[in-house]
Amino acid sequence: MPRDSTTLTFVIVGGETPIYECEIKAGAKKEETVNYLHEFVLHASLDNVDEAIWTTQSCYLKQVDRYYDLTVSAYATSSLVKFLLLHDSKNDDGIRSFFHDIHEYFIKIMLNPFHTQTTKITSKHFDEKVKLLAQKYLL
């Protein structure tokens, strides 16, 4: 299983707004341009996600979009909150497990009755878990 991604960015999108962002690996060239390029690619891929949701019954939507060597894999929960992962190497099984485990933690966050789909996730615990899972499956 190749695990040599140089770019890994994970985003949770509720509605149209990113409610959680985590840059697991910034990419080889650490420049200012990278941040917004990644956001652009992820944001644009939401259009593909919207289409992919209706083509499969599973939550994991696999690779939904590419921009040159950057690939976006997506996962949609049943409440249509989307998990997006920007990566540049192929690691399908790892990403699937990563999304699946994140979903469990995400449900725990959503159990909070005051947490809406567009509330930003600021839990440090959640952040730690995401990084642990990324370490486990992606790096």
Which chain residues interact with other proteins by CB under 8 A?
16-18, 35-36, 38-41, 43-47, 51
Taking the complex as a whole, the smallest distance from the CB of residue 65 to other proteins amounts, in Å, to: 9
Kindly state the tokens that stand for 48.
Answer: 């593909």
SS3 54: coil
Q: Which is nearer to other proteins, 41 or 95 (CB)?
A: 41
In the chain, which ranges are E strands? 7-14, 17-26, 60-67, 70-76, 82-87
Q: Which is nearer to other proteins, 43 or 103 (CB)?
A: 43
Kindly state the tokens that stand for 99.
Answer: 């999304």
Q: Which is nearer to other proteins, 19 or 95 (CB)?
A: 19
CB 90 within 8 A of CB 8: no
Taking the complex as a whole, the smallest distance from the CB of residue 12 to other proteins amounts, in Å, to: 13
SS3 114: coil
Taking the complex as a whole, the smallest distance from the CB of residue 55 to other proteins amounts, in Å, to: 13
